[in-house]
Amino acid sequence: MSTLKISNLSKTYANGVKALDDVSLELENGMFGLLGPNGAGKSSLMRTLATLQEADSGSASLDDIDILKQPADLRKVLGYLPQEFGVYPRITAEQLLNHIAVLKGITNPKERKLLVRYLLDKVNLFDKRNKSVKGFSGGMKQRVGIAQALIGNPKLIIVDEPTAGLDPGERNRFYNLLADVGKEVIVILSTHIVDDVRELCTKMAIMNFGEIVYQGSPQSAIDNLGGKVFQKIVERDQLNDYAADYKIISNKMVGGQPLIHVYSEDHPQNGFEQVTPNLEDVFFSKINTANVLV
Amino acid sequence: MVYIFMLILGLMEFFATVSDNVQVGGAIGNVYRNSPYTLTIHVTIFCIFSLLMAVAFFNNAALRDHNNEFNEILFTTPLSKPGYYFGRFLGALFVSTLPLVGVFIGMLLGTYLNSIFNWIDTERFGPFYIEAFVNNYLLFILPNMFLAGTVIFAMANKWKSTVISFVGGLVIIVAYIVAGSFASDVDNETVAALTDMFGINTYSIETKYYTPVEKNTLSPGFSGLLLYNRLIWIAVGFVILAISYFSFSFKQKNKKIKKVKNETSKSDKVFDLPKLNPSFTGTTNWQQFKSFFYTNFLSIIKSVTFKILFLFCIIILVTDLTGGFEYFGLQSYPVTYKLIDSIKDNTDIFIIIIVVFFSGELIWRDRDNKINEVIDATAHTSFISMAAKTLSLISIATILNLFFIGIGIIYQLLNGFSRIEVDVYLLDFFYDNLPLFIVFGAVTILVQVLSSNKYIGYFIAILILLVLEIVLSILDINSNMVDVAGGPSVLYSDMNSFGPGLKGALWFNLYWTIFSVLALLIAGALWNRGSKSSLLSRIKTARKEVPKSYRGVIIGVTLSWLAVAAFVYYNTQVLNPYRSGDTEEQLIVDFEKTYGKYRDMATPKVTDAKYYIDIFPKDRDVLTKIEIGLTNATDKPIDSVLFFNNENWDTKINIPNSEIVFRDSTYLMSIYKMSPPLQPGDTINAIIEANYVTKGFENGRGSTRIINNGTFLNNGEILPTMGYNSGYELNDKNLRRKYDLPEKERTPKLTPGVTDLHQANYLSGRQADFINVETIISTSKEQTAIAPGSLIKQWEEDNRSYFHYKADTPSLNFYSFISADFQIAKRKWNDVDIEIYHDKKHDVNIDMMLDAVERSLKYYTENFGPYYHKQARIIEFPRYANFAQAFPGTMPYSESFGFITNLEDETDNNVIDFVIAHEMAHQWWAHQLIGADMQGGTFMSEGFSQYSASMTMKNITENPMKMRKFLKYDHDRYLRGRSGEREKELPLWKVENQSYIHYGKGSAILYALQDYIGEDNLNTAMKSFLEEYRYAGPPYPSSHDFLRHLEPQVPDSLNYLIKDWFKEITLYDNRLKDATYKKLDNGKYQVKLDIESYKIKSDSLGNETRVPMNDWIDIGFFMDDDEDQLYGQKRLKFNTDTSSLTVELDSLPVKAAIDPRHILIDRVYKDNIKGLSIEE
C-alpha cells in the first residue's frame, strides 16, 4: 500500500496566474479522480507530481520519496500520460514502446519484448505494431500513450485527460485496463468529464482556480446535495431573471430550451421539480460558487 | 525584415568603404574604394550572401497562405491563378532586391562621410558613375535574385517546407562555389564565363586584364560574355518559373492514401504480462544510452534534409574528383593527401552544416513532437540522453567521412593508382576531422540546450562556429585556445608524414575533447526537463536533476581540462610565444623608426664561410657553428657592426677584439664595437654559434623548415643579418601612410654606368659577393644531408652520418642545407654529376627529370657558357611550400609538384621539365651573373631563366603551335598581374621585383624577340653579356648593360622593338575582322583578310593611348580546327590600323589568323583567328 501525500503545494506562474494554491491531498492505492474545468490547475498539479515542474512552496511525497527533491527516484516508479501525447516521426509503435521501456529500466530484452507485445495487445494495436506511429489516428496515438504509461511496475500512474479523442469503445477498454492496474497502485486521473470519475473512481477531488474545492468520495458528495437540487425548463429570454433569483448550478439545452438546475435548501416551487443530484451537479455546484450562467 | 537586411548590408558596405579592417573582395592599391569595379565586386559578393535572405522572401511568398492555413479560404475566392502566382513572385522579387540597394547606399554614404571625417585618405576615392549603379542593378542584382527566386519559389510551392527551401538556397550557394572551381584553367574560360549562374566569374573573366584605370572608370556593360551569360540564365529562370507555374494548382494535393492491406492474420495469441524486474544500474544507463543513440541516429538517417545534403555532398565530391588534380595542363597522380584535401574542401562544410542542423533537430525533437513529457518523466539521467545525441551526430559525421574516404579510394583505384594508404586516411581523420566533429557536436548540443528556442540556438551556433573566428581576428587574438576546435593543422606529406603540427594538434585535440565532455556534462545538468523554464531556474534546480556523483565528475573533468589547458598554455604562450598581426606590424614600424638611421652604415662583407651543422631530425634541433671571414670592402675603417639575430635561433657572435656596446632584446639586435677598427681590405674571422632547439609545441604548426624528414634551411635563416635591412620595412603604400612613414621606393632607380648602387647585387646586398663555402654537416644515420659543393668525405660517428662538402667555385652567399631519408638517382653528363634526391615513394618521374637537367645543361653550355659546378642536384622537400628554388648547384624542389605529376602521356614539353629548366637556368642567370640592386635586377635572373627554359622546350618541340599553348600561361600571368598591380606597372627593363613582369612579360618578350631577331642573335647577346660579368663581383650590371650587348644584335629595321618592348609598356590589339576565300582557275585559293591592328602604349596606371602602327606582324593559316597545323605563315609590315590583304595559297586552310603563334602581347587574342568563309 502506497501513500501519496501532498501538502500546501503552491505555484504561481511568471504571468501572475496562480496555478496551485495551497493544495493538500492524501491518496492511497486506487483510482483517484481529479475534476476541474479547463485551466483549474489540474495539469499543473499533475506535472508537478510527474517531476516536470517546480513548485514554489509545499511538499509532495510518495511513501518515502520526496517528489520535489528526489525527482530521479520518483521517476523509477512513475507512469505518466501527459495531456498532449505526441510521437516521433519515422518510428514504429513497437520501436517507440521498446525505447520507452528501456528508459523505464526494463533491461532484460526478452522481458521487454513480451511486455511491449502484451501492452500492444491490451490497447488493441498489436496488428499495427510495425506501422509508423506518426500515421496513427488521434485515438490510436492515445492508446500508445496509455500503453507507455503502464510500462514497468509503476506505483504511481498519472493520466491527464486520457480519454480525449477516444471513441466510446476505446474508452471502455481503457477504463477496464486502468481499473485492473488501479487496484494495486495509485492512479490519478485528471479530467473535465464528470462521467469518467463517476464510473471509475472511489475518491475524487474537484479543483478550481488552483484550489481544491472538494475532496472525498463521489457518493458522499452526491449525498450531500440530496434534496437540494431542482430543475426546470425555462424560456430562453427568462434566463437572466432566473439567474438573479436562484442559485443556478447549471443550464443546458434540452429540446431547444434551457433546462436549469438550481441549488436550494428548500423547494423553490414556481414549477421547479426536485431531482436526484448527480456528480455533474456536484461538479457545477462546487465550481460555480458565484452562480453565474455557464 | 527587409529593412533590417538592408541596414546590415548597408553597414557592411559602409565599413568596407571607409575602413581598412573590413575587406570585401578587396579594393587595393590604385583602385578607388568606390570605383565601379569595387562596387561590382562587392555587389556580386553580397548577392551570394543575400541568397539566404531571398530564400526567406520567396519561401514566405509561396507559403504564407499555406502556413497560416488561410489557403483554403483564399483559394475559394474568385482569384485568378496568374494574378496570384506572379503577383506573389514579383512582390518577393522586388523585395529581395532591396537589401542589395543597401550596398549602394552604404557606399555612397561611406564616400560622403569620409570626405568630411577623413577616416582614410580621400585620395583613395574617385568620382561616382550613375551608370555603375544602374547596370549593377540590372545586370547582377535583379537577374540573380530572379534566378534564385524562381528556384526557391518553385521548390517552396512543390514541397511546402521551409526547411527544404533553405536547403535549396544552401545548395544553390554551394553548387555555385563549387562550379566556380572549374574556372581554373585558361582553356575553358568561355565555358566558365557562360555557365556561371550569377555572372560573377563572367565579370571577373571579362575584367581580368583590366588596368587600374579601367577598374576606376568602367562600369559593367551590356555586352560580350556578360550579356550572353545574363540572357542564358534569365531564360533558365523563365523556364523554371513556367514549369513551376503550370504545375501549381489551387487545389490541395490529395494526400496519398496507401491501400490498407487486408490484415486477416489477426492473431488470437494470448499475451501474458511478463514478470518485470525494472532495474536502474550501470547496465541500465548503458542500455538507455544505446536506445537513445539508436532512435536519434535513425531519425537523422531517415530525414529528407539529411538525404538531400548527403546526396549533394557526393555529387560535389565526385564532380571535383572527375576534374582531377590539374596543374598547368598536367594531372597529378591521385596521392592520398590530394584526396584527403579534396574530401575536406568539398565535404567538411556540409558535414558541419549537418551537425549544426541536426543538433537543433535532436535537442528539440521531443518537444517538437510533444513527447517530451513522457521521455522526461522516465528515470534516465539527462547526461545520457545528451551524450547519445552528441554521439549520434558524431557518428553521422564519421560515417559520412568514411564514406567519402571510400569514394576517394575507389577513385584512386579507378585511376590505376595502387598505393592505397588506408592508414593515412584514417589517421588524418582521427587527427583532424574527428576532433572537429566531437567539439562541434558537443558545443552545438550545449548551445541548443541553453537557448530557449531552436532558431536562436542555430543563430548562436553559427556565431560561434563562423563569426567567432572573425571577431577574434578583429580583436587580434590568435590563440587557438579560444577558437572553438582550434589548433595547429596537420598536413600530410609523403615525405614527412603528418609533420611538425601533429604534437600540438594532439594536445589541442585533447584540450577540446575534454572541453566537449564538460560541455555535455553541463548540458546534461541544465537540460530543460519538463515544462519550459528559464535558464536561471534550470541552474537553480540543476542539482536535483543529476545524480550525486555528478558534481564530482564535473569537478574532475574540469580539473583535468584545466590541467591540459595549463600545459597547452605553457607550451603555446610561455615556451613558444608568438605575436599577433597588429603587434607584428607595429614592431616593423618601430624597427624602421628606431634603426632606419643605420641605413647607410657601412658593414664588412662575408668572404668565407665554414659551417659545422648538426641536424637532429627526431628532436627537430639544429646546432651550428660557423666560421666566417669578414672583410672591409669599403675605403674607410669600420669600427662597429650591427647584427640582427634570427628569431628562435639562440645566437652567439664572437668577433675578436670587440665588445657589445648596445643590445636590443626585442629585435635581437646588438652592436659590436671593434678596437682597433677594421681597416679597408682587412679581414677578421668571426665565430658564430646559432642553435635552434624545438621546445614543446606551438600555437600554430611550428617550423616547417626543421622537421623529422626533409629539413631545409638556407644560410639566411641561420646567420644573423649584418647592418640595417630595409627588406624588413613595411612596403604597402597605404599602410605606410597610416603609420606616418615616408613614401618608399620599392627599388632604387635604374641608373646607367657604374655608381655606388652598382656595388650591391639584389640578392645578397652589401653583405657578400661570391664567396667560398665549406660545410661539415651531420644528421641521423638513416638520413642524407646535403650542402653546397662536392662531397669530399662521408663517415659515420656516434651512430650519426657525417658529410663534408666543399663548393668548387666561389658562389653567391645563398645556399641551402637539407637532410632527409633520400633515394639518390644519378647520371653523369660530361663531368657533371646529375643527382636527384627524392623520397622512395616518388620515383616515377625521375628519369624524365634527369633528362630535363641534361637537356638544360646542354642547351645552356652551348649557348651561354660553361657550368662551373661539378654537380647539378635536384632535392625534394616536403610540401609545406610549393616552389622550386635554385641555390648554387642545388635545386630544392617541392614534393607537391613534379614528383607526383603524371607525365606518362607527355611526350614533349611540360611544366615539370620547364621548372627544372628554369632552375637550371638560374645557375647561369643569377648564380653566374646577377643584377645590381636596382630596377631591372630581377629581369636578368628571372626573365632570362624563364626565356632559357622556354628555349630548351622549343628545342625539343617539333610543332611551333605547342609553344603557343605553353606561352599563353606567361601572357596570362602578365596581363592578370598588371590588372592587380597595387602601385605602378613598369617597363620590363625597370621591373621592381614584380613577378608578373619578370616571369610573365620577361618570358613573352624575350621569346618574341628571339623569334624576330633570331635565336642565335639573342643568345649571342646574352652570352657576351654573361662573359663580361660572370662571377665578377661588383660592380654589378644593370639593364643598361644588357641592352648594350643586345643592340648590336638587333637589325636597324627592328630597332623599334627595344624601345617598345623593353623601355615602354606596349600592347597590341590585333583582330581578324573577316577572312574569305575563292578558288582560282589555276586550282589555287585566293584568301582575302580584313585586319585591324593597333599598337597601344600604356602608362604605369594603365592609361592607354593608341600610337601609329609601323610594325612587323605574322599572318598565317591553320589546316585544322584544332589549330595544330600552321600553314603559309608570313611576316608582314603593317603601317595602317586597318588593312586588307590578299594571299594566294596552294591548299585551302580552315582558319586564318593574325599573329598565329601568339607572339605579341594582345589582351584579346581570341579574335585574331577566324574560320574561312567562301567569298560571295
Following DSSP, what letter does each residue of A269-292 receive, concatenated? -TT-EE----HHHHHHHHH-TT--
Q: How would you classify the pairing of strands B1065-1079 and B1173-1174? A: parallel
Q: DSSP 3-state helix, strand, coil percentages of chain B (rounded to 5)?
A: 50, 20, 30
Nearest CA in chain B to A108: B277
| Disruptive mutation site among B267, B268, B276 for chain A (greatest number of A CBs within 10 Å) | B276
Distance from C-alpha of B27 to C-alpha of B50, rounded to nearest angstrom: 21
Residue among B273, B375, B529 minimizing CB distance to A103:
B375
Return the amino acid letter for B196: D
Q: Render B401-444 in DSSP notation, one character per residue.
A: HHHHHHHHHHHHHHTT-----HHHHHHHIIIIIHHHHHHHHHHH
Cβ-defined contact of A100 to B375 (cutoff 8 Å): yes
Tell me which chain B residues have a C-beta less than 8 angstroms from the C-beta of A104: 278, 378-379
Chain A residue with minimum CA distance to B546: A72
Is the Cβ pair A90, B302 closer than 8 Å? Answer: yes
Q: Which residues of B touch A82 (CB under 8 A)?
A: 373-374, 377
* DSSP structure string for B432-467: IIHHHHHHHHHHHHHHHHHSSSHHHHHHHHHIIIII
Closest CB to A114: pick one of B274, B302, B380.
B274
Is the CB of residue B34 less than 8 Å from the CB of residue B133? no
Calculate how close chain B gets to A238, using CA atoms only, in Å. Answer: 39
Does the distance separating the beta carbons of A105 and B537 come in below 8 Å? no
Chain B residues with CB-CB distance to A47 below 8 A = 373, 530-531
Rounded to a whole number of angstroms, the distance from the CA of A112 to the nearest CA of chain B is: 8
> For A85, which of B274, B291, B370 is closest by C-beta distance?
B370
Q: What is the mean pLDDT of each run of 10 residues along chain B (1176 residues)?
A: 80 80 61 87 85 83 72 68 85 89 89 83 83 91 91 86 80 74 63 84 85 86 88 92 82 51 52 78 91 94 86 85 80 92 89 91 91 91 93 96 96 92 96 94 94 87 80 84 90 93 95 96 90 83 82 94 97 91 90 91 92 96 96 92 93 93 92 93 95 94 93 94 88 84 89 91 88 95 95 95 95 94 95 95 92 95 96 95 92 90 74 91 96 94 96 88 89 90 91 94 96 96 96 93 96 94 95 92 92 93 90 94 92 92 93 95 91 87
Q: Do A54 and B371 touch (CB under 8 A)?
A: no
| Three-state secondary structure call for residue B247 | coil
- A48-69 per-residue burial string, b: 16 or more CB within 10 A, e: under 16: bbbbbbbbeebebbbeebebbe
Query: Cα B990 to the chain's mean position, in Å?
Result: 28
Instruction: Report whether B1120 contacts B1152 (CB < 8 A).
Output: no
Best CA proximity match to B58, nearest among B84, B81, B89: B89
pLDDT at A78 over 60: yes
Cβ-based contacts of A111 with chain B (< 8 Å): 274-277
Q: Do A52 and B370 touch (CB under 8 A)?
A: no
pLDDT at B941: 95
Do residues B803 and B791 touch, judged by C-beta distance below 8 A?
yes
Inspect the interface and report whether the beta carbons of B271 and A114 lie closer than 8 Å: yes
Q: Give per-residue pLDDT as tens, A199-215.
A: 888 899 999 889 999 89
Q: What is the pLDDT of residue B213?
A: 85
Q: Which residue of B has its CA nearest to A152?
A: B278
CB A179 within 8 A of CB A210: no
Q: What is the pLDDT of residues A148-189, one digit of tens each?
A: 998 988 999 999 888 877 888 888 888 888 888 778 899 999
Element (DSSP H or E) covering residue B688: strand B683-692
A192-220 as b/e: b if 16+ CB within 10 A: bbbebbbbbbebbbbbbebebbbbeebee
Q: How far is B57 from chain A (nearest CA, A)?
A: 29
Chain A positions touching B273 (Cβ under 8 A) are: 114-115, 118
Give the pairing of strands A229-233 and A273-274.
Answer: antiparallel
| Chain A partners within 8 Å of B274 (Cβ) | 110-111, 114-115, 118
CA distance B426 to B892: 30
Mind giving me the DSSP string for B852-870? HHHHHHHHHHHHT----SS
**Are A86 and B373 inside 8 Å of each other by CB?**
no
Nearest CA in chain B to A74: B379
Query: Using alpha carbons only, what angle is made at residue A130 by residues A129 and A133, rounded to the nearest 5 degrees?
Result: 75
Phi, psi of B690 (to 5 degrees): -135, 125
Contact call for B271 and A122, based on CB within 8 A:
yes
Torsion of CA A277, A280, A283, A286, to 10 degrees: -40
- Interface A–B counts its CB contacts (< 8 A) at 137
Identify any residues that bridge with B991 across adjacent strands, giving them in sequence order. none
The 10 Å Cβ neighbour count of residue B1112 is 13
Is B374 within 8 Å of A81 when comparing Cβ atoms?
yes
CA atoms of B801 and B785, how far apart (whole Å): 8
Q: What is the DSSP string of A101-140?
A: HHHTT---HHHHHHHHHHHHHHTT-GGGTTSBGGGS-HHH
Q: Which residues on chain A are in Cβ contact (under 8 Å) with B361?
A: none
B884 closest CA partner among B932, B908, B849, B832: B849
Cβ atoms within 10 Å, residue B83: 9
Query: What distance in Å separates residue A68's CA from the closest CA in chain B?
Result: 9
ipTM of the modeled complex? 0.91
Contact at CB, B541 and A54, closer than 8 angstroms: yes
B9 and B104 in contact (C-beta within 8 Å)?
no
Tell me whether residues B271 and A117 touch, CB distance under 8 A: yes
For residue B533, what is the nearest residue in chain A, using CA coordinates? A53
Give the Cβ contact number of residue B583 at 10 Å: 12
Nearest residue, CB atoms, A76 vs list B263, B280, B295: B280
CA of A117 vs chain B CAs: smallest distance (Å): 7
- Whether A86 sits inside 8 A of B544 (CB atoms) is no
Q: What was the pLDDT predicted at B847? A: 92
Distance from CA of A151 to the nearest CA of B (A): 9
What is the rounded average pLDDT for all residues in chain A? 87
Q: Which of A15, A45, A52, A95 to mutate to test binding with chain B, by most B CBs within 10 Å of its CB?
A: A52
CB contact under 8 A, B544 and A105: no
pTM of the model: 0.86
C-alpha cell belonging to residue B1000: 610573365
In chain B, residues with a C-beta closer than 8 Å to the C-beta of A106 are 276, 278
Question: Minimal Cα–Cα distance from A222 to chain B, Å?
Answer: 35
Best mutation target, A88, A98, A144, A180, to test chain B (most B CBs within 10 A): A88
Residues in chain B within 8 Å Cβ distance of A68: 544
Mean pLDDT of A34-42: 88
Bridging pattern class, strands A57-62 and A3-12: antiparallel
Question: Is the Cβ pair B291, A71 closer than 8 Å?
Answer: no
Pick from B284, B291, B374: CB nearest A80 = B374
Distance of alpha carbon A178 from alpha carbon A101, whole angstroms: 19
Residue B497 CB-half CA count within 13 A: 12
C-alpha–C-alpha distance, residues B678 and B700, integer Å = 43
CB–CB contact A86 B267 (8 Å): no
Our CA-based measurement puts residue A284 at a distance from the nearest CA of chain B, in whole angstroms, of: 30
What is the distance between the alpha carbons of residues B849 and B853, in angstroms, rounded to a whole number?
6
Strand B669-678 relative to strand B800-806, pairing: unpaired
Contact B374 A108 (CB under 8 A): no
Q: Do A85 and B537 touch (CB under 8 A)?
A: no
Measured from the Cβ of residue B1150, the count of other Cβ atoms closer than 10 Å reads: 15
Q: What is the pLDDT of residue B26?
A: 54
**CB contact set of B1097 (below 8 Å; sequence gap of 6+):** B1064, B1065, B1066, B1067, B1104, B1105, B1107
A14 contact partners, CB below 8 Å, separation of at least 6: none
Contact A275, A229 (CB under 8 A): yes
Residues with Cβ within 8 Å of B653's Cβ and at least 6 positions away in sequence, in order, are B643, B670, B672, B686, B687, B688, B720
Compute the C-alpha angle B591/B596/B598, nearest 5°: 120
Q: Which residue has the cell 612613414?
A: B741
- Across the interface, whether the CB atoms of A86 and B530 are under 8 A apart is answered no
Tell me the C-alpha distance between B1052 and B1047, whole Å: 9
Q: What are the counts of helices (DSSP H) followed by strands (DSSP E) for chain A?
A: 10, 14
Closest-CA residue to A46 (of A35, B369, A193, A76): A35
Check B274 against A111: CB less than 8 A apart. yes
- A75 and B377 within 8 Å at the Cβ level: the answer is yes
Which chain A residues have a beta carbon less than 8 Å from that of B292? Answer: 99
What was the pLDDT predicted at A221?
A: 86
**Which of these, B387, B384, B403, lies nearest to B306 by C-alpha position?**
B403
